[in-house]
Structure 1
Amino acid sequence: MELIQSSLVFTVFITLLIIIANPSAGRSLLKRQQSTQINERIDCYPELTSPFANYSKQSCLARNCLFDDGAGPGVIQCYLSPNYGYILQGSAESITNGLRLKLKRNSAIGSMFQQPIENVLLDVQYYTTDIIRFKLYDADNKRYEVPIPLTPSSNQVSSPQYEFSYSSDSSRDNILSFFIKRRNNKTVLFDTSLGGLVLNNQFLQIVTRLQSPHVYGFGENNHDTLKHNVQERKSWGIFARGQGTNLETNSNHYGSHPFYLVMEQIGSSNEAPSGRMHGVLLLNSNAMDYTFEPTPSLTIRTIGGILDFFVFLGPTPEHVIQQYTWLIGRTILPPYWSLGFQLSRWDYSNITHMKNIVKRNRDAGIPLDVQYVDIDYMDAAKDFTIDTKNFQGLKEYFTQLNNEGVQTVIILDPSTIDDQKYYAPTIEGIKEDVFIKWDDRKTLMKGSCWPGDVFFPDFFTKRAQDWWSRWIKDFRRVNLTFDGLWIDMNEPILFNTNEAIPWNWMYTNSNYTLKCPENEWDDPPYRTKAVYRWDSTMTRASRLSDQTLCMSAPQGEIDSQTNQPKYRHYDVHNLYGWSETKPTLDAIREATGKRSLVLPRSTFVGSGQWSGHWLGDNEDTWHEMKGSLIGM
C-alpha cells in the first residue's frame, strides 16, 4: 500500500510540474485524462434506447449513478461511480488448488438495484495447466448454479501457464481489481481495473478490458460478421427465443452460448494479431446481455445465478477449442450418413408433394442421403401421429427410401395438446406427472402452440424423460420407421404469451394464451437486451415471459432439504433444450440400436456432446447462407 501511495504522489508531482512549466502542455494532458475517463465510463442505463425505458436524469440518479448534463453525442451520460465495487477483507485464504478472497461491497456508494449482495467470495481455482476458473458468489446465501456436468479439475497443477493477481486502488476507496495473465509473456487476458463489478440478487455485472479488439463468439445471435466490431458499441442479448434468423437484426435466437474468444495482438502494436488466442466461458444460464466498448472492453450483465468463469489459455485457436470441449464434453461422433446430402423444407402439402420434390432433385443429378419431414406429416400438428389423409403411405415410403440408401429424419415438438379425452401422450403424461405446473404444484401451466392449447414436459425430472423415451420408441416401432430426430420449439416457445389471443387461433379454434402474473421473476428490475430489444415491435414493454413459459414456473425433482422443486424456469429457461437433448438421443439409440442423430433447435453449453444443431427458421437467400456459416 505504501508503494501505491508513493507512486500516486510521484505521479501527481510530475503532473503539477508539467502544468507549472508549460501551461498549454498541462491543459493538453488534463484534456487527454478527462477524455480517457469519459471513454472508460460504465453505462448505468443500457436500456435507454427502449421506448419504454423512462430514461431521465431522475431515473439515472435513482440508480445511484452519476449523470453528465453536458454529455455530447456518443458519450455515456448516465454512468456508474468509479468507486462502485468491492473491498478486500483481510488476506487471501488457501483452498484446494487455489485461493479465496473475502470481499465486502463499498457501502459508500448506493446500489444500482434492490437487494445488493454485501458479502462476496471470490474463489480462484487452478483448474488445469491451461484453464483457470474464478467464481464470484454470495458469501451468506446459497444461489442457483448451472447444473451441467463438467470434467473435474486436475488434482494438482504444478506448472500453470497463467498468473492470477489482484490489487486495491486507494484512489477509489480501495476497490479491488484482479488480473489473469500469461505466465510466459505477461499478456493480460482478463482485467477488471475499469471497475463496474455489481452483484445484486437479480443484476450481476462484470467488466473486463480486452487484450485486443479481435473478438469472436457469443451467441446465439444473428451476426453479419464472424468478428465483432467493438467500435460499434453494440449490445447483444442472450436468451433462448423462437426467433427466425431472417426476421430482425441485433436479436437473440434459439440457444445460449456465453463463450468468446480473443485473438491477441502483438504487444503495443496497432492491433496486429499475434496468432495467440484465449477463450472465456461464463457458466451462467440466466438471461443476459453483453456490450463492447472501443476501449476495448467487454461488459457482461446477467440477472441471476453467480459469476462463474473459465479462462482457456490456448495458446492457438485449436488449443482453446480443445480445452473448451475437454471441459464441457467432446463433440458427438455423428453417424456417417449425417455427413451426406440432405433435403429438408417446411410445408410439404402432402406425400405426393414430397415424392415429387425428391424425384425432381434426383432427376437433376443431385445426390440425396437424408430426407427430412417437418410438422406437416402430423395429424393437426400433434406429436406421435400421422396425417392419414395427406400422408397416407408415409411408413411405406420411408421404407422404400431406406432400401434405396436414404435415411429419414422426422420432427418432434416437446409440447403436447390439451386433449385429456382422446390424446394418449397427454393423458399418460398427466397421470405420470410429467408436465410443468404453477407454484401450487397442482395446476398445469398451459400455453398456445401449433396444435392449440399445450403443456410442456419438465425434462429435469426422470419421469418426464421416461415418458418421452417410451413414446419415441413406441411410435417408431408401430407407426413410422425413422433414423434420426429433429427437435423444434424447445426454447421453449409459446405463441403470444401475455397477449390477448394467439396468432393461429383461426386454425386451432382456441383463443387461449398464457398470461403471466407480475412478479420478481417475470418482471425483474433489469430486463436485459434479450427483452428490451423487442420493445420497438410492441405497444407495451416486453416481458421476459413473452413467447415462452412464465418464469415463475417451478421445475426439477423435489429438493430433499426444501421440499420444493430444485429450479425455477427463470434460471433454467436456457437449459430447456439442453435438458431434452440427451433423453432424446438415448431413446433413438435404444430404438435403432445405432449412433443415430438428434438435431435440436435450442442448445446450451455442452449440448454438442449429445447432438448436432440446426440454426432454425430462415429463408433461401444468399444472405441467410452467409449467416448460417457464421452461426455454425
Structure 2
Amino acid sequence: MKLKRVAVTVILVVMGTTTVLSQECLSDSLRINCYLWEGATQELCEAKGCTWCPSSMDELAPSCYLPPNYGYNIDGPISEIPEGGYRINLKRSPASNISYVGADSEEISTFFYFDSDERLRIKITDNTDRFEVPLEIKPPANPGGENPQYRIEFTNNPVFSFKVIRVSSGAAVFDTSLGGLTFANQFIQIVNKVPSTNGYGIGENEQLSYRHDFSKWQVFPIYTKDDAPLGNKNVYGAHPTYTMVEPDGSTHTILFLNSNAQEFLLTPAPSYTYRTTGGLLDIYIFMGPTPEEAVGQYHQAVGPQPIPAYWSLGFNLCRWNYNSIGNMNATIERTREAGIPQDVQFGDLDIMFDWLTFTYDSNATYNNFSGLPEFIRELKTRGIHFIQSVNAQISSEERRLPWYEPLRLGHEMDVWVKRPNGTPSTGTLWPGGEHEGWDKPAGPGFGGPVHFTDFSRPSAIEWWRIICAQYRDVLDWDGLWLDMNEPASWVSGDVVGCADNLINHPPYTPGITNNISDLTICPDHVQDYGILYNTHSLYGWSQARGSFEAIKPLFGTNRTFQLSRSTFPGSGQWAAHWLGDNFSTWGNLASSLIGIMGFNLFGTPQSGVDICGFYGRPSEELCTRWLQVGAFYPYSRNHNVRSTSEFDQDPASWSEASRNSTREALMIRYTILPYMYNLFYIHRVRGGTVMRALWAEFPGDQVALGVDTQFLIGPAFLVSPVLTEGATEVEAYFPEGSRWFAYRNGAEIEEAGSVILTAPFGVINLHVRGGYILPTQEPALNTMLSRQNAFGLIVALDGSYAARGEMYWDDGVTHAEVQDEGVYFRSTLLYIDGNLTQTVVNDAYQGISGLEMDSIRLFGAPSIISTILLNGEEHTDFEIHLPGNELRVHNLNIPVNSNYMITFLP
C-alpha cells in the first residue's frame, strides 16, 4: 500500500505527564524571537509570557524569546489520507499563553502527502476558509513509487515537531525541533533547522553572496515592489524557495507556496524562520538528490519555461530616450557597422504619445516617431525583431475619451481592480508625464491617474487580446515588455487613500520597505482572485499568464516573447525576466551573476540584467567588462535610463578597442547558441538551469560551494569574468577531478584549484569542461543569418579521453505544442576510444536538411592525431594549433541529420 512506503517514527509523551523545562538562558543561535517589534524590554517581554535573557551574539539575536513549551500538541490518533500520507490534528498547547498578534488558531491540522519518491508535500492549516495560491502544481513524473528518498519522524515532547530525513544519509532536510510553530489569522510561523549552511535562493532581492550567510541574523523580506535592487530589501518578484546542498553533496529544494507579505529570517542555528501574514503553510520538498535533479523537480512542478524563440536568445538593444526613429536607427546602424550582432530592438516610453501605453507618437507631438510602423517592417527584413513596452496601468482621465480605446473598452468590459465599494482602484503613473517635462521627478503628483487591469478576470484577458491585436495592426511587434507590474503606483494605496483596517494596516508587517500599501494598491482592494492582501505578489504572475494567453493567437503557430519585471513561481512558463533598475557600478556587475543564477533556480532560466546598468553613467572600462560577461547571460540586453545628461552606452558607442572586445564576446555567444538552445530544450523536458554555479556540478567540492564570481552555461562552458575596476587578471577556481580547456586555443589548465588568469582589457576568460561535446554554428550579425550557416562541434575529452553531448534543433519559432508532436531534430554525440559518433534520435524537422556539420575542434587528445577517417574514408583537411595542441578539422560537409562516425588515429 502506498502509505507504507514511508518510514514514520512517532515519539509521543504520555498524555498528562509533565515535562520539566530548564530555566537557563538558551544559546542565542537557538532562540526564536517572541517580541517582533522594536523596543523590547524585559518588562514587555515577560508581560507576554516570554523568556528574557540579554543576547550576546548579534544585534538581531533576540533577548526576548519563546519558551520551549510554546506550540501545538498532537490531538487524537494519526490518520491515513486517501491521497497517500498522514493527517495529524494538533491543538494549541495549554502552556502556549503567548500570542504574537492575536487570533491564534486553537486547532490546526498537518497533512503529509507522499507525492512521489522524490517529492513530499506538507500542508498546515486550520478549519477556516483560507486563501490558497491559484498556481497549478503539476503532478510528479513518477507518482507513487516504492523507494522514497525520505522518512518522517514526529515527536510531541514538549510540543509537536517533525523531521523529514534523507534515507541515504540521515540528514534532516526539514527539522522543526527548535519550536515556534504559530498559526494565527494574520501571522504564521515555522522554523526549519537546516542540515548545512550551503543555502541558495529566496528572492527577489540583491544578495551580495550567492551562498547564504548563516553566521549572523538577517532577514530576506518578500513582497513585490517597484524599487531598485539595493541589498536585502524586497523588490520586483516573490520567490519563497531555496536550494540547499547537504554535507554529503546531496541537494534538495523547498518551496513555501504562499503569496502574502512574508520573510525568511536566517539564524546561526543554522535555521530559516519562515513567517507570512496570511494564507497557509503549503510546503513542497524536492529531494534531488543531485543539484540539477532537485531544481529540475521544482521546475517541473511549477511549470518550466517553454523553449524560447531562437531570435530572443540573440543580443537585444534598448534605451529609454531615443526620442526619434533617427536616433534609434543610428544606434542600430553603428552596431551593424561595428560588426556587432543584434536580433532585437526595443521600444520604450519615448515612442508613446504622452506616455500612454498602446500608442505611438505618430504626429511627433513630443518625439519624432512618425513612420514607426514602416520602420519596424523594414527592421524585420534585416532580421531584427521589435519588442514594445506596455503597462497594465491604463490612463483613467476622462479627457482621453472616446479616442483612447484601452480606457473606453476597459470600462465597457469591466476589467479593473476594484475598491471595496466596487469602483475602480485609482493610482498614478506615467500617462501625462511626458508633457510635464523631465525636470519634475517621478512620484506622487507626476504623471496622471490610472486604473489597474485585473488579470484574474476572464474579461480582462479578452480585453487585453483585443487591444493587443489592435496595437499589433499598427505596430507589428514581436513581443511585449511587461513593466511596472508589481503593481507600481506613484501614490500609496489610492488617490483617495486606504481605509483604516487590519487588512491595510496588519498587526505585523515583515521587514519590507515601508508598508504593504506603499506605492501600490490598497491591500483591501479586490481582484477576482480575492483581496490584494493575499494576491498583491501574484499581480505580475497573473499579467504574464493572462497576456501570454491573450497574445498567443496573434502569432498563429509561432512563438512570441514576453519580458516581465515582476515574477512568482511558475512565471517562467510565460515570460523571461530582467533584474530591473540596476546601477552602473562594479558592485551591480558582480551581483548580476548572483541574481541570474538565482532566477535559474527559481525557474526562469531566460534571465538577465540591463548590461552596463540602468541608472548612472558607466565608464568605458565598466561597460566593456559588463558587455563581455553580458554576452553570456541567458538573456542578453543592453539598456539605460532617460537622463538629464544624455549619453549612449550601447556597445558601438565606445572606442574601437571596446567594440572589438564586444564583437568577439557576442560572436562567441552566437557560436555556442546551439549548445545554449539545447539547454533550454533540456529545461523544457526535465527542468534544470541554463546558467549555474560551479556547485551545481561539483556539490561535494567545499570551495566550489562558495564561488559566485564565475558561472557555468550548462555543465560545460565556464565563464570567469573581470568584476573589479582596474583588474587585468582574475582568480578562477577549477574543481578537482575535471579537465578544463581554454575556449580560444584548447590549452589545458594544468592544475586544479585556484588559478590566476590574465585578463587584459579586451579579454574574458572562457573554458570548456572535459567530458562534453558542444554543438556550435558559424556566427553572423543575427540569428536569421546564422541559422543558415554550417554547424560544428567542440569535443573536450575527460581524463578517460571520452566525451558526450546532445543536440536539439527545430525551426526556432514554432510553439512547444508542435515540438511535443516530434517536429524537431535531436541526436546524441559520443566520443570514446578515438571514435566520435552521432546517433540521430529524432529526424522530423525537415528544415535541417541541407545544413552541414562542417568543423570539429578537439581538445585533450592523448597524443597527436595524424589520421582522420570519416565513415571509414580518410579526411585530410585538419591541423594542430599550438599552444594547446588543439585539433581543428575543416570541410567535413556531413549532413547534420545523418548518423556518422569519425575516427581519430595517432
TM bracket, shorter-chain basis: 0.7 to 0.9
**Distance in 2 between residues matched to 1:616 and 1:167, nearest whole Å:** 45
Look up the equivalent residue of 1:592 and give its one-letter code.
Answer: F
When residues 158 and 625 of structure 1 are mapped into structure 2, their CA distance, relative to the original with a 3 A threshold, is: same
Q: 1:466 aligns with which of 462, 470, 490?
A: 462
- What TM-score do the two structures reach when normalised by structure 2? 0.59
- Which structure carries more helix by proportion? 1
Partner of 1:358: 332
Partner of 1:620: 584
Look up the equivalent residue of 1:84 and give its one-letter code.
Answer: Y
8 Å CA contact 2:11, 2:156 repeated in 1: no
Partner of 2:113: 125
Alignment of 1:131-146 (within 5 A): 131-138=119-126, 140-146=127-133
SS at match of 1:218: strand
SS at match of 1:526: coil
SS at match of 2:138: coil
Look up the equivalent residue of 2:537 and give its one-letter code.
Answer: N
Look up the equivalent residue of 1:41 and give its one-letter code.
Answer: R
Q: CA deviation at 1:467?
A: 0.3
Alignment of 1:140-289 (within 5 A): 140-152=127-139, 156-169=144-157, 172=158, 175-245=159-229, 248-265=230-247, 274-289=248-263
**Distance in 1 between residues matched to 2:50 and 2:145, nearest whole Å:** 42
8 Å CA contact 2:251, 2:289 repeated in 1: yes
When residues 552 and 58 of structure 1 are mapped into structure 2, their CA distance, relative to the original with a 3 A threshold, is: farther
**Distance in 2 between residues matched to 1:360 and 1:623, nearest whole Å:** 29
8 Å CA contact 2:564, 2:576 repeated in 1: yes
Look up the equivalent residue of 1:437 and give its one-letter code.
Answer: K
**Distance in 1 between residues matched to 2:341 and 2:25, nearest whole Å:** 61
* Residues 1:568 and 2:531 aligned together: yes
Structure 2's unaligned 5+ residue stretches are: 1-8, 432-447, 597-906
Q: CA deviation at 1:396?
A: 1.4
**Any idea what the Cα deviations from partners look like across 1:555-603, whole Å, max 9, x if unmatched?**
11xxxxxxxxx51111011111111112212333222221111111101
When residues 261 and 424 of structure 1 are mapped into structure 2, their CA distance, relative to the original with a 3 A threshold, is: same
8 Å CA contact 1:495, 1:513 repeated in 2: no
**Distance in 2 between residues matched to 1:57 and 1:359, nearest whole Å:** 69
Partner of 1:68: 53
Alignment of 1:495-506 (within 5 A): 495-497=490-492
Q: 2:93 aligns with which of 106, 116, 120?
A: 106
* Residues 1:518 and 2:514 aligned together: no
* Residues 1:607 and 2:571 aligned together: yes
**Distance in 1 between residues matched to 2:358 and 2:13, nearest whole Å:** 72
**Distance in 1 between residues matched to 2:294 and 2:427, nearest whole Å:** 41
When residues 47 and 2 of structure 1 are mapped into structure 2, their CA distance, relative to the original with a 3 A threshold, is: closer
- What TM-score do the two structures reach when normalised by structure 1? 0.84
Look up the equivalent residue of 1:488 and give its one-letter code.
Answer: D
Q: CA deviation at 1:439?
A: 1.0
* Residues 1:95 and 2:81 aligned together: yes
8 Å CA contact 1:47, 1:528 repeated in 2: no
Look up the equivalent residue of 2:95 and give its one-letter code.
Answer: A
**Distance in 2 between residues matched to 1:521 and 1:588, nearest whole Å:** 35
**Distance in 2 between residues matched to 1:217 and 1:2, nearest whole Å:** 32
**Any idea what the Cα deviations from partners look like across 1:315-372, whole Å, max 9, x if unmatched?**
1111011111111112221000011011122222222222222223223222111111
Q: CA deviation at 1:128?
A: 1.0
8 Å CA contact 1:164, 1:179 repeated in 2: yes
8 Å CA contact 2:487, 2:520 repeated in 1: yes
**Distance in 2 between residues matched to 1:242 and 1:576, nearest whole Å:** 12
8 Å CA contact 1:473, 1:587 repeated in 2: no
Look up the equivalent residue of 2:517 and give its one-letter code.
Answer: S
Q: CA deviation at 1:158?
A: 2.6
**Distance in 1 between residues matched to 2:297 and 2:204, nearest whole Å:** 21
When residues 328 and 72 of structure 1 are mapped into structure 2, their CA distance, relative to the original with a 3 A threshold, is: closer
**Distance in 2 between residues matched to 1:285 and 1:142, nearest whole Å:** 16
Partner of 2:515: 543
**Distance in 1 between residues matched to 2:543 and 2:47, nearest whole Å:** 42
When residues 405 and 3 of structure 1 are mapped into structure 2, their CA distance, relative to the original with a 3 A threshold, is: closer
Partner of 1:562: none
**Distance in 1 between residues matched to 2:335 and 2:508, nearest whole Å:** 51
**Distance in 1 between residues matched to 2:318 and 2:76, nearest whole Å:** 62
Look up the equivalent residue of 2:268 and give its one-letter code.
Answer: P
Alignment of 1:306-455 (within 5 A): 306-388=280-362, 389=364, 390=367, 391-420=369-398, 421-422=401-402, 423-441=404-422, 443-451=423-431, 452-455=448-451
8 Å CA contact 1:89, 1:103 repeated in 2: yes
Partner of 2:560: 596
Q: CA deviation at 1:202?
A: 0.4
SS at match of 2:523: coil
* Residues 1:487 and 2:451 aligned together: no
8 Å CA contact 2:12, 2:156 repeated in 1: no
**Distance in 2 between residues matched to 1:165 and 1:190, nearest whole Å:** 10
Identical aligned pairs, as a percentage?
A: 37
SS at match of 1:258: strand
Look up the equivalent residue of 1:447 and give its one-letter code.
Answer: G
**Distance in 2 between residues matched to 1:73 and 1:370, nearest whole Å:** 49
Aligned CA RMSD, in angstroms, stands at 2.4
SS at match of 1:481: coil
**Distance in 1 between residues matched to 2:31 and 2:224, nearest whole Å:** 30
When residues 3 and 201 of structure 1 are mapped into structure 2, their CA distance, relative to the original with a 3 A threshold, is: closer
SS at match of 1:529: coil
Look up the equivalent residue of 2:523 and give its one-letter code.
Answer: M
When residues 77 and 393 of structure 1 are mapped into structure 2, their CA distance, relative to the original with a 3 A threshold, is: same
When residues 39 and 619 of structure 1 are mapped into structure 2, their CA distance, relative to the original with a 3 A threshold, is: closer
8 Å CA contact 2:244, 2:253 repeated in 1: yes
Look up the equivalent residue of 2:115 and give its one-letter code.
Answer: Y
Structure 1's unaligned 5+ residue stretches are: 13-29, 49-53, 266-273, 499-511, 535-541, 557-565
**Distance in 1 between residues matched to 2:377 and 2:113, nearest whole Å:** 54
**Distance in 1 between residues matched to 2:544 and 2:583, nearest whole Å:** 26
8 Å CA contact 2:28, 2:56 repeated in 1: no
**Distance in 2 between residues matched to 1:211 and 1:101, nearest whole Å:** 25
**Any idea what the Cα deviations from partners look like across 1:385-408, whole Å, max 9, x if unmatched?**
111212112111111111101111
**Distance in 1 between residues matched to 2:30 and 2:348, nearest whole Å:** 50
**Distance in 2 between residues matched to 1:2 and 1:626, nearest whole Å:** 48
SS at match of 1:109: coil
8 Å CA contact 1:105, 1:118 repeated in 2: yes
**Distance in 1 between residues matched to 2:573 and 2:10, nearest whole Å:** 52
* Residues 1:43 and 2:33 aligned together: yes
Look up the equivalent residue of 1:159 and give its one-letter code.
Answer: N
**Distance in 1 between residues matched to 2:452 and 2:25, nearest whole Å:** 53
When residues 264 and 588 of structure 1 are mapped into structure 2, their CA distance, relative to the original with a 3 A threshold, is: same
8 Å CA contact 2:225, 2:236 repeated in 1: yes
Look up the equivalent residue of 2:453 and give its one-letter code.
Answer: P
When residues 229 and 514 of structure 1 are mapped into structure 2, their CA distance, relative to the original with a 3 A threshold, is: farther
